[in-house]
Structure 1
Amino acid sequence: MSDLQQYDESSVTVLKGLEPVKQRPGMYTRTDNPTHICQEVIDNAADEALGGYADTIAVTIHSDGSMSIEDNGRGIPVGLHPSENVSVVELVFTRLHAGGKFNKKDGGAYAFSGGLHGVGVSVTNALSTRLEVQVKRDGKISQIVFSGGDIIEPLAEIGTCAKKDTGTMVRVWPDAQYFEDAQYSIAEIERLLRAKAVLLPGVKVSLTLANGTEKEWHYPNGLEGYLRDLIEQNNAEMAVPIFHTANYIGKKHEDFQAGEGAAFAITFLEDGHINNESYVNLIPTPLGGTHVAGLKQAMFTAVSNFIEHHSLLPRGVKLQSDDVFAKSAFVLSARLLDPQFQGQTKDKLTNRDALRLVSTVSVDAMELALNQDTEIGKRIAELAIKQAQARQRSVKKIEKRKGSGVAVLPGKLTDCESEDIRENELFLVEGDSAGGSAKLARDKATQAILPLRGKVLNSFETHPDQLFANNEIHDISVAIGVDPHQVGDKVDLSGLRYGKIAILSDADVDGAHIQVLLLTLFYRHFPELIAHGHIYVAQPPLFRVDVNAIGKSKPARKIYALDQQELDGILDRLGQEGVKENAYSISRFKGLGEMNPDQLKDTTMHPDTRRLMQVSIPDNEHDDTLAIFVKLMGKGEAASRRAWMEAEGNHVEVDV
C-alpha cells in the first residue's frame, strides 16, 4: 500500500480554537470582501443601543485599510470569567461560542440581540491581521490586541476615564488572503448604518471615510421617513399614503414573550419598484424569512377581509397572497427574544413562531387602518384585484399557433406571389362565398385573400393576452405578420407582409357591422398599422344598373352605384340623357358572393376602377375618435348608445 493511501489514527486532524474559521472561512462569513466581518462588530454596537445603553455609534475607515467601530455602551467586561479563568473580553474574541447573548432570562445582558451563534466577532478576529479592542469601564481604559485570532498584546490598563464614560472601540485590519476583494463595500456599509439609525430612534450613527468625508444618520420619523426616502430614491410612485405602526407584546401572553413584536411602515406602489427591507433585532435579513411571511399573511388577511366586507371582488377572480403583496413597499423591523437564522451570515430568519408573532401583532392594525379610510382601502383592494386578474390572464394567455418555431400561416389564406410589401395587398373578405369570388377576381401576383367566417369578436375591451382565443383574430395577426400592440408601444413592423390591408365586406347593414368590428380590432390592437397608413376599406357597390343599347351609337352599359344616393344620381343622369325607364333595369346585390369574379374585379379589386378608402385619424381628433369607439363598442355603454340612437335615429335610412 502506498503512502498516499495510508489511513490510520495519525490521519485525523483536530482543529482547535479559531483554526476552523481560517480553514473554511466561507462557512462563517461572506468572502467576497471584508465588509461582513466588520458588520459583526457594528451589530454588537447596535445591540448595546437596542438595549438602551448606547446612543452613538461611530464607524471610521482609516487610510491603512482598517476600520474602527466605537460605541458609548456599557463596555465589554474585562474581568475574569468565573469558570474559564480568563478575561471575558478575551473569551468573546477568541472562542467560537462565547458571548453575552445566550442567557435570555431576566437579568441577562441582552434581552434582544442579533442572534445566538456566538461566533460573530471571533470570526472577525480570526480573519484579521490585527484587531485592537479598547474598553472604557469602571473609570479605566483597557486594551487587548490580537493577530490572526492570537493574542499579541495581553489585556492591560492603558489609561483612566470618568466613571460615567463607558464604551467599546474595536479596530479591525482584515486579512486580504481570505477575501476575493480587499476593499470594503462602502455602499453596503452606508445602507447598514442608515438602517441602524432608522431602527434605533434617538441613536446617532456616523461614518468617516479615509478621505475625511463624514456622514451622519438620524431619523426622527423612523421607519416612515426611511421608507419615503427609499421610494424617492427609486423614483417610484405611491398609490396610497404610508401607514406605520409598532406593536409589541405586553407583560402577559400565552404564546410570546414580553417585548417581542414588530414595527413596520408600508405603502402600495402605483408605479415603480423598491427592494423591501426587513430586520430582526437590527440585523438586516436580505433574504427575508418567517417574519416577512408573517407580515405578508397579515396583509393578505386584512385586505381580503376588507374586499369581502365591501363586496369588491369581481366574479371569477380568486385573490392570492402574492396579489396583495406584489405592489407593496415596506420596511419591517421584528423583535424576537430568540432569533434563529439560516447560516452564520444571518441573511434569512427561520423561526417558525416568528410568522405567527408578526401576523398576530400586525393584522388588527392593518384592518383598522383600511376601515378608518375606506377610500384608501378601496384603492389598495383595486391594486390587488388588478394583480389577480393579470395573474389569471397570464396563466390563460393564448399564444400564436406555431410549427417548427415559426407562426404557421392560416390554411384559408390564399397568398400572393410577390414579396414586396409596397405592392402587396391583403383583402379581408366576409364569408367563404365572397372569398371564392375574390380569389378568382384577384391579381395573383400582388393580391392575397383571407376569408373570415362570421362576425369577428368585439375586441374593444379584450385583453391582448386573450385575443388569440378568437380564431379569426389569430389568423389575421399571423397573416399580416404583426403582433397586437398598444398605442405608444415600440412596434417592429419589419415582419409586415402587406402594404395594404383592405376590409372587404358587403354593402349592407351586416357588412357595415363587420367593417366596424374589424376597424375596432385595428384601432385598439394594431394602432401602428393605422398610423402608418396600412389599413383600407374597400367599397363594393350595392346596386347595378343595366342600360339597354340605344341604336348603334350607344351600346349596352353596366353602371354600379355605391349606395341609394349614388343610384338616385345615376337615374337622374339617365333621365337627362333621354333614357326611358323601360330601357334600363336595377338590380341589388345581396352580397359579394353574388357578384361574378369579373364584376368584383372591376368594381372593388382592380386598382384602376375600384374604390379603396384609406383609414386615418387626424392629429386633432384622437380624443373624439376614442369617445366614438367607447360609445359604440364599450360593454358598459348600452345606456349612452340607446340615448344616441333615440337622438339620431331619424337620420338613418333603414335597409330592411
Structure 2
Amino acid sequence: MATKASDSRASTYYDESSFRVLKGLEPVRERPGMYTRTDSPAHIIQEVIDNAADEALGGYAKNIHVTLHHSGAITVVDDGRGIPVGIHPEEKIPVVVLAFTRLHAGGKFDKRSGNSAYAFSGGLHGVGVAVTNALSKRVAVEVRREGKIWQIDFAEGGEKISPMTEAGTCGKQTGTRVTVWPDGKYFDTPTVSSVELERLLRSKAVLLPGVTVRLDTEQANGSTSSKTWSYPQGLAGYLIELAGRAENIAPLYAAEKYADSDHADFAPGEGAAWVIGWFVEAVSSESYVNLIPTVAGGTHESGLRAGVFEAVKSFIEHRALLPRGVKLQQDDVCSHMAYVLSTRLLDPQFQGQVKEKLNSREAVKLVSSMIRDPFEIWLNQHVEAGRAIAELAIHQALARQKNAQKVEKRKQSGVAVLPGKLSDCESTLLTENELFLVEGDSAGGSAKMARNKETQAILPLRGKVQNSWEIDAGRLFANAEIHDIAVALGIDPHDNSTADLSALRYGKVIIMSDADVDGAHIQTLLLTLFYRHFPALITAGHVHIAQPPLYRIDVPASGKKRPARRLYALDEGELAVIKDRLLKEGVPAHAIEVGRFKGLGEMNPEQLRETAMNPATRRVLSVTERPEVQTKALFNLLMGKGEAASRRTWMEANGHLVDADI
C-alpha cells in the first residue's frame, strides 16, 4: 500500500518540469479552434485566397485562379508580385519560410512606417497562411519573381521544410502558386464546400473591379468544370443579382468615398464603397472589410445604417413630410433596405481570428460620415426616389407606434407601480427596449446620462442581491432589490421555462457590473435569481451580460494620418495584444498611457456609452443554458447553503484554472 501511495504522488508531482512551452506552429495544432473554423478547411483555404486578393486590392494582380482537385487538394494562383524569397535581414531565413512557419509575421504590419507591403488588408492578426500550413499534411509553394521560378514544400504541419530550389526562369511573369493538402484530423469534414468556396470567390470578383476570378473543379471522370466571375458593374451588379426578381421601391444608389491626405480624422485611402436599395420583399445584404467577408456584420454596418438614417431623416425634415406626433427611428428607414458594403480600414479589429464580425469602433464614424452627405445630395437630386423611401419609412413608423399602443392597452389594467429609482425608457416596443441592471448608484448615474432614453432603461442596484437559490417564490419580494427587478420586468416569478411572458416590458435584460471579483459575484447572484425564479427569460434569450473594459489605452496623435485615439481592453490579454499592435505600428512604448478602471462609476457617460451601452460598439454576451453541462447541479453546488464542503473540494480541484483579480 505504501508503494502505491508513493507512486500516486509521483504521478501527480508538480514542479518546473510540469510546464510545457509550445513552439512554432505547435499551438495551432494543439488548439486549432482558437485560430480557425474546424467544421471544414474552408477558412484555411480562405487565408490563401485572401493573400491573393490583397495583391489585387493593391493593384498588382488581375487574375485569381483556384482549382479544387479531385484528391482533396486546393491550388490558389495569382499574378501578383510573388512572395519575397530573399533572406530576412533580422531572422536570417527566406521571407517565404517566415510567412508559412511563423505566427504574427507578414507584410501587413508597419503600415505607417512605409515598410508595409499592403496599405489595406484583412487585419493585423498575422497568423494567416501559417495556420494553413500548421493544419495541412503538405503545402507546396511556387513563386515567380524577378525572372526566376522558386519552389519550396512544407510537410507534416510545417515541421518538415524542403530546401528552396530554383526551378527555371519566367521572364517578366510574376505571381504565387500555393497548393494545400488539408489534414482531415483537424476538421469535422476534410472537404471544402464548393457552394461556400463559390460564394467567397464571387465576392472577391465583385469587390475587385477589373479582376477575373476563376474556379476549376476536377470531376471523378477526369473532366474539369469551370466557373468565372467578373463584375463590370461592381457592387450594383452584385446587388441586382442578390435581389433577383424582388421589386425595388427606388433606384439603386451606388457610390464610394475615401479619405484624402488632408482628412482630419482618417488615414488616406480609408473609406467605403456601397450600393443600397429598398425592396418590397426581403433581400439579403453583405458586407466586407478589406475584401474579408464579415458575415456577422459589425461596426461598419452600424455606420452605414446610421449615415443612411441621418440622410433620410434630414430629407424628410426639410420637406416637412413627417406627420405630427411621429418620431422616426433607424429601423423605420432601414428595415426594407438591402446593401453591399465594402469598407477599407487601415487597422481593422475583428471578433476572433475567423474575422466574421468587425469590432473597430472608428468604423462607425468612418462609414457614417462617408455616406451621409453624398446620399443626402443624391436624395435631393432624385426627389421621387427620396419621397418613395420617405413614405416607406413613415409607414413603418406609424405601424410601429400603432403596435406599441396595442401592447400598452393590454398592460394598463393590472400594472404595478414602477420602482422610483427606475429610469424608464420612452418606447413600449418589446423588441427594442432594454433594461440595464447596474451595480451601484454612481454607475447608475453615469448610465442614465449615457443611455438612449428612447429605448434604454436603468435600474441601479444598491449592494448585492440576496442569494435566492433556496428562497421560496412567496418570500422573494421581502428583498427590496428583487422586488424592484420583478416589478420593473412586469412578470411574476415562475418555475417553468415555458411560462407566459406576454407582460414582459423589456426585450433585453442586461446585467452591467464592474469588471472585477465583486462584479462577477453580483452577476452570479442575478443569474441565480433568473435561472431559479425566472427561467423563461433565459430560455427565450432575454438575459444578457455587458462586458465593460478593465483598461483604457490613450494613444497620442501621429501626424495628419491618425489623430489621438482612445482604445479599450477587456482584460490583460487584450491589453497585451493592443500594446503589441501599437508597438508594431511604430507608437513608442513610453507614449502609450494605460489606465485601469476601478469600476463603472469611474467611467464618464461618453466612455460608458461607447463601451457598454451603444449597440454599435458595446460588447454584450447572451446568456444561454449549455445542454452538455448539468446546470442545476452546478448552481446547487455553488449557491446551496448546505454545500460548503462540496464547494471547498470543487475549488481545490479547479482553483488553478482561475485568473484571480486580487
TM range (shorter): 0.5 to 0.7
In the alignment, what sits opposite 1:160? 169
The 2-side partners of 1:70 and 1:398 are apart by 59
Superposed displacement of residue 391, structure 1: 2.3
Q: 2:267 aligns with which of 232, 257, 260?
A: 257
Superposed displacement of residue 397, structure 1: 3.2
Work out whether residues 52 and 77 of structure 2, in 8 Å CA contact, stay in contact via their aligned partners in 1: yes
In the alignment, what sits opposite 2:239? 227
Query: What letter matches 2:364 in structure 1?
Result: L
The 2-side partners of 1:262 and 1:183 are apart by 34
Would you say 1:384 and 2:376 are equivalent positions?
no
The 2-side partners of 1:393 and 1:3 are apart by 73
Match of 1:118, SS? coil
Q: 2:124 aligns with which of 107, 116, 135?
A: 116
Work out whether residues 103 and 110 of structure 1, in 8 Å CA contact, stay in contact via their aligned partners in 2: no
Q: What is the RMSD of the two structures over their aligned residues, measured on CA atoms?
A: 1.6
In the alignment, what sits opposite 2:361? 352
Would you say 1:247 and 2:257 are equivalent positions?
yes
Aligned 1:425-440 pairs, distance under 5 A: none
Would you say 1:75 and 2:82 are equivalent positions?
yes
Q: 1:144 aligns with which of 143, 152, 171?
A: 152
Superposed displacement of residue 4, structure 1: 4.9
Match of 2:163, SS? strand
In the alignment, what sits opposite 2:102? 95
Q: 2:312 aligns with which of 303, 306, 329?
A: 303
The 2-side partners of 1:321 and 1:385 are apart by 11
The 1-side partners of 2:210 and 2:202 are apart by 13
Aligned 1:280-291 pairs, distance under 5 A: 280-291=289-300
The 1-side partners of 2:342 and 2:381 are apart by 24
Superposed displacement of residue 274, structure 1: 2.3
In the alignment, what sits opposite 1:237? 247
Work out whether residues 239 and 269 of structure 1, in 8 Å CA contact, stay in contact via their aligned partners in 2: yes
Would you say 1:317 and 2:326 are equivalent positions?
yes
Superposed displacement of residue 107, structure 1: 4.7
Query: What letter matches 1:226 in structure 2?
Result: Y
Superposed displacement of residue 238, structure 1: 1.1
The 1-side partners of 2:116 and 2:22 are apart by 31
Work out whether residues 99 and 105 of structure 2, in 8 Å CA contact, stay in contact via their aligned partners in 1: yes
Match of 2:301, SS? helix
In the alignment, what sits opposite 1:487? none
Work out whether residues 143 and 150 of structure 2, in 8 Å CA contact, stay in contact via their aligned partners in 1: yes
The 1-side partners of 2:160 and 2:239 are apart by 44
Work out whether residues 243 and 284 of structure 2, in 8 Å CA contact, stay in contact via their aligned partners in 1: no
Would you say 1:267 and 2:277 are equivalent positions?
yes
1:175-208 Cα shifts (integer Å, max 9, x gaps): 1011111121111111111111111110000000
The 1-side partners of 2:293 and 2:63 are apart by 19
Superposed displacement of residue 387, structure 1: 1.8
Superposed displacement of residue 393, structure 1: 3.0
Work out whether residues 114 and 283 of structure 1, in 8 Å CA contact, stay in contact via their aligned partners in 2: yes
Superposed displacement of residue 401, structure 1: 8.0
Match of 1:237, SS? coil
Match of 2:99, SS? helix
Superposed displacement of residue 209, structure 1: 0.5
Q: Tell me how many residue pairs correspond in the alignment.
A: 398
Query: Which segments of 5 or more consecutive residues in structure 1 lack a partner in the other structure?
Result: 403-656
Match of 2:176, SS? strand
In the alignment, what sits opposite 2:203? 195
The 1-side partners of 2:126 and 2:78 are apart by 20
The 2-side partners of 1:20 and 1:7 are apart by 22
Residue 396 to residue 11, structure 1, CA distance change in 2 (3 Å) = farther
1:13-34 Cα shifts (integer Å, max 9, x gaps): 1110011101111110011111
In the alignment, what sits opposite 2:225? 213
1:32-68 Cα shifts (integer Å, max 9, x gaps): 1111100000000000000000000000001110000
Work out whether residues 224 and 265 of structure 1, in 8 Å CA contact, stay in contact via their aligned partners in 2: yes
Would you say 1:21 and 2:28 are equivalent positions?
yes
The 1-side partners of 2:98 and 2:405 are apart by 61
In the alignment, what sits opposite 2:402? 393
Query: What letter matches 2:283 in structure 1?
Result: I
1:602-650 Cα shifts (integer Å, max 9, x gaps): xxxxxxxxxxxxxxxxxxxxxxxxxxxxxxxxxxxxxxxxxxxxxxxxx
The 1-side partners of 2:212 and 2:181 are apart by 25
Match of 2:164, SS? strand
The 2-side partners of 1:374 and 1:122 are apart by 53
1:278-298 Cα shifts (integer Å, max 9, x gaps): 011111111111111111110
The 2-side partners of 1:309 and 1:400 are apart by 34
In the alignment, what sits opposite 1:59? 66
Taking structure 1 as the reference length, the TM-score comes to 0.59
Give the % identical residues. Answer: 60
The 1-side partners of 2:403 and 2:136 are apart by 52
The 2-side partners of 1:333 and 1:401 are apart by 45
In the alignment, what sits opposite 2:634? none
Q: Which of the two has higher C-alpha Rg?
A: 1
List structure 1 segments (4+ residues) > 2 angstroms apart after TM superposition.
1-6, 105-108, 389-402
Residue 80 to residue 35, structure 1, CA distance change in 2 (3 Å) = same
Residue 400 to residue 307, structure 1, CA distance change in 2 (3 Å) = closer
Superposed displacement of residue 243, structure 1: 0.7
Aligned 1:597-608 pairs, distance under 5 A: none
The 2-side partners of 1:393 and 1:400 are apart by 11
Work out whether residues 144 and 151 of structure 1, in 8 Å CA contact, stay in contact via their aligned partners in 2: no
Residue 137 to residue 401, structure 1, CA distance change in 2 (3 Å) = closer
1:408-465 Cα shifts (integer Å, max 9, x gaps): xxxxxxxxxxxxxxxxxxxxxxxxxxxxxxxxxxxxxxxxxxxxxxxxxxxxxxxxxx
The 1-side partners of 2:407 and 2:360 are apart by 42
Superposed displacement of residue 145, structure 1: 0.7
Would you say 1:184 and 2:184 are equivalent positions?
no
Work out whether residues 47 and 128 of structure 2, in 8 Å CA contact, stay in contact via their aligned partners in 1: yes
Query: What letter matches 1:173 in structure 2?
Result: W
Match of 2:92, SS? coil
Query: Which segments of 5 or more consecutive residues in structure 2 lack a partner in the other structure?
Result: 1-7, 412-662
Residue 122 to residue 143, structure 1, CA distance change in 2 (3 Å) = same
Residue 382 to residue 171, structure 1, CA distance change in 2 (3 Å) = same
Aligned 1:198-597 pairs, distance under 5 A: 198-211=206-219, 212-232=224-244, 235-270=245-280, 272-398=281-407
The 2-side partners of 1:214 and 1:131 are apart by 23
Match of 2:295, SS? coil
Superposed displacement of residue 5, structure 1: 3.6
Superposed displacement of residue 317, structure 1: 1.9
In the alignment, what sits opposite 2:651? none
